[in-house]
Structure 1
Amino acid sequence: MIFKTISVIGLGYIGLPTAAVLASRKVKVIGVDVNQKAVDTINSGQIHIVEPDLDIVVHAAVTEGYLRATTRPEPADAFLIAVPTPFKSGPTGDHEPDLRYIESASRSIASVLKKGDLVILESTSPVGATEQMAAWLSEARPDLTFPQTHGEDSDIRVAYCPERVLPGQVLRELVQNDRVIGGVTRKCSEAAIALYKIFVLGECITTNARTAEMCKLTENSFRDVNIAFANELSIVSDRLNINVWELIQLANRHPRVNILQPGPGVGGHCIAVDPWFIVSSSPKEAVLIQTAREVNDSKPEWVIEKVRLAVADYLLSSKANNSDVRIACYGLSFKANIDDIRESPAVEIAVKLSKIYPDKVMVVEPNIEALPERLAAVEKVSLKTAFKEANIHVLLVDHKEFKNDRPPAGILVDTRGLWV
């Protein structure tokens, strides 16, 4: 199957790199996003997110005429949907999957679909989302046939293929990692493989759409459970006055033990979100997965309590007044050396501390120019200023900028083991 034009719907942390990599293979790519500022930035050959080397690839693709961004879908031979899937309130709580962005993207491309087109859902989704997307497309375009009703003879091919990349290494992993492709039919899978083989050097492995959806959720739930073990271990170790970083290092010398590193919680739009999609679909059966989520979601409160104790220790030892307390939070992104703050526990901690200690909290975040609206009242300062002015230092993200300095003077609450 030959793709002369490919459209990527959603130009965020996955969509834009995917569009850029496709365009770098001399394929015409039309990127679509509702954010006019992002569209204008891309069309100027620049990027609106932080990802190593992405700016170079995008600039070259735009300059050479292979990549163009717009706010309205245009005809293409294939459509890759990479839009957010947040939470909403539902019967089982506040962690029900919200598919409104997928629905909106589906209905927006429906008007430009033609016979022979391929539609691939890349958004991390609950099981059944690809089938629902196909139903929305069919409803909007009754003049076309779709695989859920016409099988191999359908006018439109539909598949699910989740991304599995690491922020900071997206361009390399998009190309090198294996891809799990879940076509609604065999011909749907074959069409999707033909598209991904334009740039993927890894193996393209086929399955059905539901299994591919569950595979993505399983991968991130596996990681979440293992992180929960590390986070719970850090809490137990603190209670027993044991250095958890030394403990994990020693335990990992066992040839069959590989404990992950604890932190202030779990963030990002994958690991912090995907397990809930499994829980929402099988709440009675997904006991371990839900428990791991609860452990990781509760870690920020534990960190805040550690800061409260640190403030009390400072006031007691220095005989200072409350007005003298200055707290510095180091890092806001959900992992090191990126600007992505989606579901970040560091942001949650900084916000709550700023409410508990008004006008006493500063943040250091070298990867973000402007603080999120929730932290508008908090001062963003340099590393040098924080080291000089704060007496409570809360390390939340182990950015490279923080590794090259000796620990600051004062009381440390180190959630990443960088300064202990």
Structure 2
Amino acid sequence: MLTPPPLSLYLHLPWCIAKCPYCDFNSHALAGELPEGDYIDALLADLEVDLPRVWGRTLSSIFIGGGTPSLFSADAIDRLLSGVRARLALAPDAEITMEANPGAVEHDRFEGYRAAGVNRISLGVQSFDNEQLKRLGRIHSATEASRAIEAVTRAGFERFNLDLMWALPGQTIEQALADLEQALAFEPRHLSHYQLTIEPNTVFAARPPELPEEEIIWDMQQTCQERLLDAGLTSYEISAWAAPGQASRHNLNYWCFGDYLGIGAGAHGKITLPAKGHILRTRRKSHPRPYLKAQENGSFIAEEAIVPDEQLPFEYFLNRFRLDQPVPWTEFETRTGLDRERIAESMDRARELGLIDSDETCIFRTARGKRYLNDLQALFLPR
């Protein structure tokens, strides 16, 4: 039976100082003055569009992403979060994360963000190597990255994430490990450690850099993973490492097929509607200009569609199998509204290939299933 899962809120702030050549997110280089006040007004008006679909539900987490949200002042973030609280109930222990980039934030703003209610910072460091930062199009230096981390901890944020990339152009195993050592020196309780991949419609796709060979990438991954384990961090998701109890609750809700309101230019949302017996996907207008203009008539939504039943198993397992934890059958059934018999054929094939095990209560992804994750996920595509 279809049951509402936990509910999160994603707020997208789309501007950056410059667009990085590897980035395929909906972000836009800032030209002129930041329309801070108008955009906060638009976000709150946009949120009201979705309110009738989630009446009575409580937010378990908020994530302010981008773009570069730290371009916005602490006062703007305070007004945004105050507006959210006036419209939706927040759990007493709600996780409220904001992304920030070194070089795109005045360090004393972190105190202001914390006073506004942000209780977790995700800092886009990417590398501590100045040459790599230039190749990646980052606007900060290694020194600025270190100072930003120090400013985050000085502001009193006990929970913060560092984004760190590996398999960078020309990078050696020793260089990747040196980056990791510098990150670990700050004792982060959460680290997003992810491989640089070339995405379509990016500058790197048009002019690909020379990346390390596959054998070096594999050895780099194994070496870095061993060091992360030695540091007391656990890989609870393919690219996410955390100390005990420090996993990102917001991201866990995504990966467990939870619900989330997607508010802001280009934001995507997912809302379970048990009374109607379906799950709804939404997408907002992508470019900031038409998105801001949508305040005139509330036309923020560019697209919305019901997820067909035959697509639900793939959508569920696409993210769920990224987690290093068993999948309860009850979670699959309540969050998709489907009986387990609907996926019997795919399950049998996955077992034959050694990608999963299962019993009456749970599905278990094997080590082989983790290594060949794409193949495992593809077994649940509609036929």
Range of TM-score over shorter length: under 0.3
TM-score, scaled relative to structure 2: 0.27
Higher strand content, 1 or 2: 2
Higher RCO by CA contacts (8 Å cutoff, separation 6 or greater)? 2
TM-score, scaled relative to structure 1: 0.25
Higher Rg:
1
